[in-house]
Amino acid sequence: MSEALLELLPSVLLEGLLLGCVYAMIALGYTMVYGVLGLINFAHSEVFMVGAVAGVEVYRYLGPHVDNPYLLALAALVVAAFISGGLAMAMERLAYRPLRKRGSTNRLVPLITAIGVSFFLQDFVRLIEGLWHGEFYMNYPADAHLEAMHDLPLGMSIQNKSIFVIAVTVAMMFALDHLVRRTRLGKAIRAVAQDLPTASLMGIDPDKIIARTFLIGGALGGIAGVMFGLLYSQINPFVGFVPGIKAFTAAVLGGIGNIYGAMLGGLVLGTIETLGGTYLFFLTDGALGNEYKDILAFIILVLLLLFRPQGLLGKTQGEKV
Amino acid sequence: MGALLLGAMCVRGEVIKVASGSMLSGPQSSLGEMIKLGAQIAIEDAAPEFDALGFDLQFLPQDDQAQPDVGVAVAKRLVNDPDVLAIVGHFNSGVTIPTSEVYKEVNLAMISPGSTNPRVTERGLNNVNRVCGRDDVQGPVGAEFAVNDLKAKKIMVVHDKTAYGQGIALAFRDKAEELGAKVVAVLGTEEKTNFQSLILQMRALKPDLVYFGGIYDQAGVLVKQMRERGIKAAFLGPDGFESSAFVEIAQNAAAGTYYTTVAGPAEKYPAAANFVKKFNERFGRSPEAYSLYSYDAAQVALAALKLAIAENGGTKPSRSQVTEAVRKVKVDGITGPISFNQNGDRAQADYWIIHFTEAKYPGTPVKSVNAAPPVK
Amino acid sequence: MTSRRPIVLLGIAAVAASAALLAWPRATWALIAVLGVLFGCLSVRDYKPARFVIALALLLVVIPTAGTHNTFLFELVTTMGIFAAMSLGLNIVVGMAGLLDLGYAAFFAIGAYTWAIFGSGQASEFMSGSFPLPGWPYFYIFSALAVITGALTGTLIGLPALRLRGDYLAVVTLGLGEVVRVTANNLDHPINITNGPQGITPIQRPPVGWLLKPLEWLGLDSSPALAYSIFFYVLVLAVIGVVVLVNVRLDRSRFGRAWVAIREDEIAARAMGISLTHTKLQAFATGAAFSGVMGAIFAAKQLFVSPETFTLLQSITILAMVILGGMGSIRGALVGAMAVALLNLEVLKSFSDFLVHLRQTGFVLNLGIVSYNFANLSDQIEPAKYERMIFGLILVLMMIFRPSGLIPESRHRLELGERKKARDAAKGGSHGAA
């Protein structure tokens, strides 16, 4: 038995990597918003969900007219990125900015607002989908080419759509790295993240930069939604919560506010979860099953916050008075 | 709004309500809707007859979301409405068991169209009945088919951790082991989307048959992901797969899968033809197997109501009178003759094995077994 | 004369609403009217004895009398009471101490399972002894135990969580709340402690034989079902009474002031010699204890517990009650619980039933210019199923437009009053200068 388990290890790691790609892309949204505003945007999980739903709609309406599966998947990604990005920006404009302008000192206020937005969006999407199609459980359609398998060494095998997901993730990460480090917008985002009042004295319009941060984070979340749908096919308006909370864990794991940390944290968490989900059953001889994989992330989160709250790549920071 | 509600519901006097309990929202709603519609036809058709007796017969469809706690909340609302005299439902055994304890308090009769867990009736509550079969027959029927017909030797058993799924999966395992097959693992999962850990475990355990005790919303996704990742093991399940939505979710992967069911296909019951026609005319779609069963459950409820009214001298009967009448009536249902034993199990029930030869609902019946429930 | 008007109006309203509810015990609007008067009793200032008498008369005479004609009233008001006690508990944590706890339903679960496991055959799965334990006296013993298990779990969860800053605390409590739920869901193997997702049923209740006689004497239906309805109604009212009393005492005690101090400014509070972890833990454990005892009562009332009752949505529902009523305000917590529970349990469901009825009968709304046939109404439009949307909206709108809630905390009110006075004075001053 143990030999078979060892043989399985490369495949488990590969599966974990795929899941990790999704987590990493969501985690970026959490970390960027936290970076500029110091706010945990609970509603980001719903931005991810809206992306996944937008992707299904693209498949529903463009699917019959477009033959090339990659073109179709790209169209879904682009549409989802725009819709999710727009949603994140609208959320900032309508819910968070009024609070910021009021200058309330109560830290709970924006947090509770974010939770409210998150719950509101779940049912709102459910209502829209229900009225539109009479059904709010949705499936990404199967495609023979995207699902075609290739054998890899070490007993691994990979599907075309998995390669596609990895490629998109890598591309987006390079693009984001370029944006943050080499463009004026990136510089402005870093400035606002470091010190908002000073940045605004230097001629940066913080509202504009914050809105764009939401836009970028939201777009990445939307792309993650489509990737999730492509990989696991069934989605619904409540699908965002669990990946959302795991991605947040990933962001903390990497060091919240740090985009490279979010990428690393996502990959690590995806791997740990898949490893745990697969091997816990064998290691405990059936006593603990796959069910515990979902609380693994929470336990990691608690331990991490207790012993290394700055995360893997973060720096310790004293509390500002 | 309250006044309107009051006006609409309370003026006409002698109202009798029959409620249905099934999941009308959530991932299993497509099956729950079929159950509601089956009962609705029976009750709407009987309304003129009750009108002649001086009663306003109303149908009260309720949504239990396939969740025990929602079901209990629904039941608490229903027992406090004195006009509700019978329940057609619930569907999931995990919901039926706790709700029956609530109905029991006021001795309100329930007739389930699809709760197959043995514990539903084995608790000996006199208000609980079902027109379907039992897991401790259905599971073994599946095991015999898996071992004898499909020649499965290494079996992996997965279940959805509900009273229904877990119960039937364990009944399946016991019989399969007894028949000499090796059950390599029994695993519960509540996962709805990402089954990769399970699939990786399948790759390590290499079963030649996977049995999934659960409902189509998970089964469809699981089998789709299994086939995508190249797991070729045969796929067998219980009557929770009994829905066109199984094929919609699993898409091509549905082809080649099997399930056992207590609800046979409509074309196998001659008396059902008329019902199928009516259903198509009224709702513009075809009924599914459980519509037939909920239609029959409603027929039993209506027959019991009529009996209780007659016994009560033509006036509105009490809940206890209806509950007693349910055990007395014999109904010629569209799924065969129906009467109940002392536990509320149907005296005889058919068990079918259905094969999806292609990814299209309904599948093809392979085999049928007629069995009486075990009595403890 | 004018200053006495509110209480006179309240009295008239109380009489009218009571008459309506007694005449139409099944009418939702009559119940809303009665609850509205209760709401009024909580929000009007001054005239303490009169308000108190009106509220007591409604709770102890009018509602029970109407309830004997419609037992659903008991069910409804009892459930509202359970939520009210929990919202008072969460109010201590979120409102007074300013700690955002998103896993509050976990303590409710702990309390519910404390009695459910031993008050049913479940305990015999993992230990020897004769189970279920009889309702008398064990239900009362275990309800008291649930206070302790609730507080203990609160301390256990609080110990790691409370070392964290505010926003991390929210995520960690959310996570730990889920851990409790998932664990309850999976503790059916290797040892079957909670019976997993199938839940535990039936659960023993304390005997109410002693209630049957008086019921008969009053000429009422002396069935155990009605007796239990009345029993749980009175029990919950009594517990709420105790909880409110404890709350009021705490609010004015050293603890209450320490909680408010850390809410307003942790660093300043520490500088004043308040031990942060200690104070936070006290708030956490107190809140959890209230939730625990209500869990045990809930289990007995419901006859059934399963992990699905204790989801994040449940925690958010209770949070919405606290936010709507006003963070830190005891009366606010009661009002918020009443409003949200009524909305969730009755108003939305009646409205849904009403729409279903219109759809089934093909009702045509004719307004002259526009007419609408309800048979065409999509079956997706069922207000009862959109509770998340409604709670979400409550949270967002309250935060944006009225963050201090319907009935702001009295401390806050004083502060606002002072600020207003100061502003008026400043205005007056500038006016004078001009």
Q: Do A19 and B194 touch (CB under 8 A)?
A: yes
* Cβ B333 vs Cβ B95: under 8 Å: no
Chain B touching partners, 3 or more CB pairs below 8 A: A, C
* Cα angle for residues C350, C353, C359 (degrees, 5° grid): 145
DSSP A287: S
Q: Do B221 and A4 touch (CB under 8 A)?
A: no
Quote the CA–CA distance of A120 and A46 in Å, as a whole number.
Answer: 9
Q: Do C29 and B69 touch (CB under 8 A)?
A: no
β-partners of residue C305 are C200
Please give the structure tokens belonging to residue B164. 């229904």
* pLDDT above 50 for C422: yes
Q: Do B69 and C72 touch (CB under 8 A)?
A: no
Which carries the bigger pLDDT value, residue A166 or residue C272? A166
Neighbours of B132 (CB within 10 A): 27
Helix (H, G, I), strand (E, B) or coil at A13: helix
* pLDDT above 50 for C313: yes
β B234-237/B258-261 pair status: parallel
| Residue B191 near chain A (CB below 8 Å) | yes
Count chain B–chain C contacts defined by CB atoms under 8 A.
94
Find the residue in B nearest to A277 (Cα): B197
The average pLDDT across B128-142 equals 91
Please give the structure tokens belonging to residue A288. 């603990």
The average pLDDT across C422-428 equals 62
Cβ contacts of A173 within 8 Å, gap of 6 or more: A24, A263
Please give the structure tokens belonging to residue B100. 């029956």
Q: What is the pLDDT of residue A268?
A: 93
DSSP A65: T
Give the closest of B194, B198, B252 to A232, CB-based: B194
Find the residue in C nearest to A297 (Cα): C175
Q: Do C395 and A112 touch (CB under 8 A)?
A: yes
The average pLDDT across C19-30 equals 89
| Residue A287 near chain B (CB below 8 Å) | no
| Residue B10 near chain C (CB below 8 Å) | yes
Helix (H, G, I), strand (E, B) or coil at A139: strand
| Residue A142 near chain B (CB below 8 Å) | yes
β-partners of residue C372 are C365
- Burial class of residue A142, CB neighbours in 10 A (0-12, 13-18, 19+): middle
Helix (H, G, I), strand (E, B) or coil at B244: helix
Residue with tokens 């339903």: C105
Quote the CA–CA distance of A76 and A235 in Å, as a whole number.
Answer: 15
* ipTM, two decimals: 0.90
The average pLDDT across A295-319 equals 75
* Chain B neighbors of A232, CB-CB under 8 A: 193-195, 221, 225
Give the closest of B63, B68, B80 to C75, CB-based: B80
- Count how many residues are written for chain A: 321
Residues 287-326 of C with CB under 8 A from B: 302-304, 306, 308-309
Q: Do C182 and A294 touch (CB under 8 A)?
A: yes
Neighbours of C121 (CB within 10 A): 16
* Cα angle for residues A252, A255, A258 (degrees, 5° grid): 120
* pLDDT above 60 for C338: yes
* pLDDT above 50 for B201: yes
Residues B278-290 have pLDDT tens digits of 999 988 888 888 8
Q: Do A291 and B193 touch (CB under 8 A)?
A: no
Q: Do B106 and C202 touch (CB under 8 A)?
A: no
| Residue B182 near chain A (CB below 8 Å) | no
Return the residue in A298, A307, A310, A319 with the most chain C beta carbons within 10 A, the one to mutate for interface testing: A298
Q: Do A290 and B200 touch (CB under 8 A)?
A: no
Find the residue in A nearest to C313 (Cα): A119
The average pLDDT across C180-201 equals 87
Q: What is the pLDDT of residue A5?
A: 85
Give the closest of B27, B189, B224 to A233, CB-based: B224
* Chain A neighbors of C259, CB-CB under 8 A: none
Cβ contacts of C156 within 8 Å, gap of 6 or more: none
Nearest CA among C203, C208, C239 for reference residue C225: C208
| Residue B224 near chain A (CB below 8 Å) | yes
* Chain A neighbors of C179, CB-CB under 8 A: 295, 298-299
* Cβ C215 vs Cβ C226: under 8 Å: yes
Return the residue in C171, C178, C308, C382 with the most chain A beta carbons within 10 A, the one to mutate for interface testing: C171
Q: What is the pLDDT of residue B38?
A: 94
Quote the CA–CA distance of C346 and C66 in Å, as a whole number.
Answer: 16
Q: What is the pLDDT of residue B5?
A: 44
SS3 assignment for chain C: CHHHHHHHHHHHHHHHHHHHHHHCCCCHHHHHHHHHHHHHHHHCCCCHHHHHHHHHHHHHHHHHHHHHHCCHHHHHHHHHHHHHHHHHHHHHHHHHCCCCCCCCHHHHHHHHHHHHHHCCHHHHHCCCCCCCCCHHHHHHHHHHHHHHHHHHHHHHHHHHHCCCCHHHHHHHHHHHHHHHHHHHHHCCCCCCCCCHHHCECCCCCCCCHHHHHHHHHCCCCCCHHHHHHHHHHHHHHHHHHHHHHHHHHHHCCHHHHHHHHHHHCHHHHHHCCCCHHHHHHHHHHHHHHHHHHHHHHHHHHHCCECHHHHCHHHHHHHHHHHHHHCCCCHHHHHHHHHHHHHHHHHHHHHHHHHHHHHHHHCCEEECCCCEEEHHHCCCCCCHHHCHHHHHHHHHHHHHHHCCCCCCCCHHHHHHHHHHHHHHHHHHHHHHHHC
Residues A251-269 have pLDDT tens digits of 988 888 888 999 999 999 9
Q: What is the pLDDT of residue C1?
A: 46
* Chain C neighbors of A286, CB-CB under 8 A: 190
* Chain A neighbors of B24, CB-CB under 8 A: none
Return the residue in B9, B18, B76 with the most chain C beta carbons within 10 A, the one to mutate for interface testing: B76
| Residue A141 near chain C (CB below 8 Å) | no
pLDDT class for A137, splitting at 50, 70, 90?
A: confident
Which carries the bigger pLDDT value, residue C355 or residue B304? B304
Nearest CA among B115, B146, B106 for reference residue B319: B106
* Whether the bond into C197 is cis, omega within 30 of 0: no
Find the residue in C nearest to A115 (Cα): C392
The average pLDDT across B86-96 equals 93
Quote the CA–CA distance of A218 and A46 in Å, as a whole number.
Answer: 10
* Cβ C327 vs Cβ A104: under 8 Å: no
Helix (H, G, I), strand (E, B) or coil at A69: helix
Q: What is the pLDDT of residue C413?
A: 63
Amino acid letter, residue C77: V
* pLDDT above 60 for A121: yes
* Chain A neighbors of B186, CB-CB under 8 A: 286
* pLDDT above 80 for A317: no
Q: How far B138 CA lies from chain C's nearest CA (Å)?
A: 20
| Residue A113 near chain C (CB below 8 Å) | yes
* pLDDT above 80 for C352: yes
pLDDT class for C33, splitting at 50, 70, 90?
A: very high
Which carries the bigger pLDDT value, residue A75 or residue A300? A75
| Residue B170 near chain C (CB below 8 Å) | no
Q: Rounding to the nearest 10 degrees, give the CA dihedral for residues C244, C248, C253, C255.
A: 50
Please give the structure tokens belonging to residue C178. 């889920």
* Chain B neighbors of A8, CB-CB under 8 A: 200, 203-204
* Cα angle for residues B233, B237, B241 (degrees, 5° grid): 120
| Residue B154 near chain A (CB below 8 Å) | no
Q: Do C163 and A306 touch (CB under 8 A)?
A: yes
Q: Do B204 and A5 touch (CB under 8 A)?
A: yes
* Cβ B148 vs Cβ B180: under 8 Å: no
Which carries the bigger pLDDT value, residue C382 or residue B295? B295
Q: What is the pLDDT of residue C419?
A: 61
Q: What is the pLDDT of residue C426?
A: 61
Torsions phi, psi for B364 (to 5 deg): -100, 130
% of chain C surpassing 70 pLDDT:
94
Q: Do B69 and C303 touch (CB under 8 A)?
A: no
Residues A199-239 have pLDDT tens digits of 989 889 999 999 999 999 999 999 999 999 999 988 999 99
Quote the CA–CA distance of B73 and C305 in Å, as a whole number.
Answer: 12
Mean pLDDT of chain B: 89
* Cβ A165 vs Cβ A231: under 8 Å: yes
Q: What is the pLDDT of residue A310?
A: 80
Q: How far B73 CA lies from chain A's nearest CA (Å)?
A: 21
Neighbours of A17 (CB within 10 A): 18
Q: How far B220 CA lies from chain A's nearest CA (Å)?
A: 9
* pLDDT above 90 for B369: no
Residues C95-139 have pLDDT tens digits of 999 899 999 999 999 999 999 999 998 999 898 888 899 988 999
Instruction: Please tell me the pTM assigned to this model.
Output: 0.91
* pLDDT above 60 for A157: yes
Q: How far A135 CA lies from chain B's nearest CA (Å)?
A: 9
Quote the CA–CA distance of B334 and B275 in Å, as a whole number.
Answer: 8
DSSP B318: P
| Residue C53 near chain B (CB below 8 Å) | no
Please give the structure tokens belonging to residue C212. 């049957």
The average pLDDT across C149-173 equals 86
Q: What is the pLDDT of residue C191?
A: 87
